[in-house]
Structure 1
Amino acid sequence: MGEIEYLVGIDFELNMSSLIQSDLIEVIEFPGVCYSIKKDTIVSQFHSYVQPVFSPYLTDICKKITKIRQQDVDEAPEFPQVLDQYNKWLVSIGLVDPQTYEKTCNWHFATVTSFDLQDYLTNQLLNYEIKKRYAYWDSWIDIQKLFQNFYQNKQSKSLERMVDFLKIDKGSNRFHSGIGDSIYTIKIAQKLIKKGFNITNNDCYHFEPTKKWIKFVGKEEYLNDKQNKEQKNKKKKKQKPKIIITEFDQTLDDELRSFGYY
């Protein structure tokens, strides 16, 4: 494949019990921002909260940092359903073939660090026993590394510090929002491209299947308890999943303004 045509910004938000290290790590927000490099335009956006099931109650630190409410995740679909809708979204915007589920053009996910796709996604697949991992999930562009290479700065830069360094207007935006951080990831990539950084396939990081993964604490207890709860809740009507897909035909600056970033 030739030049990279699209970047899909992705930044999971997590339910966690500690900022340092935790066995309790579950995805609770699953965003996607598809950006056309050639058109300098966000062409589509995906957003869904995810209902955590192994540790269903959001921790205090999670609610404080992400501002996600317990109600948001209680009404959300579980991870397998959101992942399926996400894959279908990639098909619907022409990045993935509906028959083979292979890339139709040269595009990559854009992340800040490799944790989202190397670790967090893998943990989810492992704990839900989802064996099919499409190949396009196995490579990504780490925008943080591009930033360090471009400015020859080996010091780790957080998303917020990169935004400040590049003088990206924040407006009323807060960080630690999955969809907001995904847009900022794309905005940083856009700035680097305009400053002359040529993003290529050589900048990709690739999934390492030999690493050890975290299994959720209490998984077996959850699975045993789930069967009992399902019997009690058979007659309960589940609310329609809140999955939002938005198509765009506007510049990146216009998109940020529409979300209150300027």
Structure 2
Amino acid sequence: MPRPEYYLCVDLEATCVDPACPANRVTDGFKPEIIDIGAVLLDSKTLEQKGEFQSYCRPVKHPKLSEFCLQLTRISQETVDDADEFSVVWGRFMDWMKSKGLKTQSQTPNFQLVTDGPFDCGKYFFIQFTDVSNMTFPSFARNFVELKREYKSYKQRHNRRYPKLSEMCAGLGLECSTTKHKALNDAKVVSEIIRTLLRRRGGGYVPSTERMRPVFAN
């Protein structure tokens, strides 16, 4: 597999309910909606950061955030109330990608998505595009580098459990920011981890990609 020109490290935050609370289990047609998009762009050759993007989104199916979501993400109700709907934010995100030279409509994109795990593409993007916003799922999100698998293949090949971002940082000797569940902050952490893995594996190494598959687990 040839190396892409860029790696686009993406993290998403979405509406959620407390899975441990019986009264808040995902029932009555609840579908998570994206409320925060963060992205960091890396040049694949130099591994230098070439830009970053962040925007909040206003949910429409369940516009009022649960108390659990408010505490988890520390995103206020006022913040999402004042934000644009996902379709508008996605348009800005696409414009930003194009301004950075990313070929978003090509059958062979010149960039590769990098996410922490399978949920960003397989759950949050999938549900947002197909069930909430009724938009065409972007072809470039059908394949992505799954950071957890990439880390395990390098550091924890025989460990069945998939590591958290903080555990990957610790395993690589990196300092992680303490602000969790902020999309841009976590995207920056993802970019630092993949940058470190690529540097340690040498210039000729190309990360493996995963095929997007719908993931509906909480």
Tell me the distance in 2 between the aligned counterparts of 1:134 and 1:123. 12
Q: Does 1:175 align with 2:180?
A: yes
Tell me the distance in 2 between the aligned counterparts of 1:37 and 1:111. 15
The percent of aligned pairs where both chains have the same amino acid is 22
CA distance change for structure 1 residues 103 and 160 in 2, over 3 Å: closer, same or farther? farther
Contact kept in structure 2, 1:95 and 1:103, CA below 8 Å:
no
Aligned to 1:74: 81
- The offset of 1:129, in angstroms, is 4.7
Equivalent position to 1:141, from 142, 145, 149:
145
Aligned to 2:11: 11
CA distance change for structure 1 residues 91 and 16 in 2, over 3 Å: closer, same or farther? same
Q: Does 1:102 align with 2:109?
A: no
Matched to 2:148, the amino acid is Q
What are the within-5 Å matches in structure 2 for residues 164-243 of structure 1? 164-170=170-176, 173-196=178-201, 199-200=205-206, 203-208=208-213, 211=214
TM-score (structure 1 length as normaliser): 0.72
Aligned to 1:46: 53
Tell me the distance in 2 between the aligned counterparts of 1:132 and 1:61. 30
Aligned to 1:160: 166
Contact kept in structure 2, 1:49 and 1:72, CA below 8 Å:
yes
- The offset of 1:39, in angstroms, is 2.0
Please give the secondary structure, in 1, of the residue aligned with 2:163: coil
Contact kept in structure 1, 2:36 and 2:56, CA below 8 Å:
yes
CA distance change for structure 1 residues 212 and 7 in 2, over 3 Å: closer, same or farther? closer
- Point out where structure 2 has 5 or more consecutive residues left out of the alignment: none
- The offset of 1:107, in angstroms, is 1.6
Q: Does 1:57 align with 2:64?
A: yes
- Point out where structure 1 has 5 or more consecutive residues left out of the alignment: 215-262
Tell me the distance in 1 between the aligned counterparts of 2:116 and 2:3. 21
Residue by residue over 1:72-99, the C-alpha shift from the partner in whole angstroms, topping out at 9 and shown as x without a partner, is 11110001111111112111110126xx
Equivalent position to 1:117, from 98, 107, 121:
121
Please give the secondary structure, in 2, of the residue aligned with 1:160: helix
- The offset of 1:10, in angstroms, is 0.8
Tell me the distance in 1 between the aligned counterparts of 2:49 and 2:16. 30
Residue by residue over 1:135-181, the C-alpha shift from the partner in whole angstroms, topping out at 9 and shown as x without a partner, is 1121110011000111213321011111122221235x311111011
Matched to 2:190, the amino acid is T
Matched to 1:191, the amino acid is T
Larger radius of gyration: 1
Q: Name the count of aligned residue pairs.
A: 207
TM-score (structure 2 length as normaliser): 0.86
Residue by residue over 1:30-85, the C-alpha shift from the partner in whole angstroms, topping out at 9 and shown as x without a partner, is 11111112222111111100101111111111111111111111110001111111
Contact kept in structure 1, 2:119 and 2:215, CA below 8 Å:
no
Please give the secondary structure, in 1, of the residue aligned with 2:121: helix
Contact kept in structure 2, 1:102 and 1:134, CA below 8 Å:
no
Tell me the distance in 2 between the aligned counterparts of 1:106 and 1:166. 28
Matched to 1:181, the amino acid is D
Deviates more, 1:125-134 or 1:181-190: 125-134
Aligned to 1:226: none
- The offset of 1:3, in angstroms, is 1.7
CA distance change for structure 1 residues 31 and 19 in 2, over 3 Å: closer, same or farther? farther
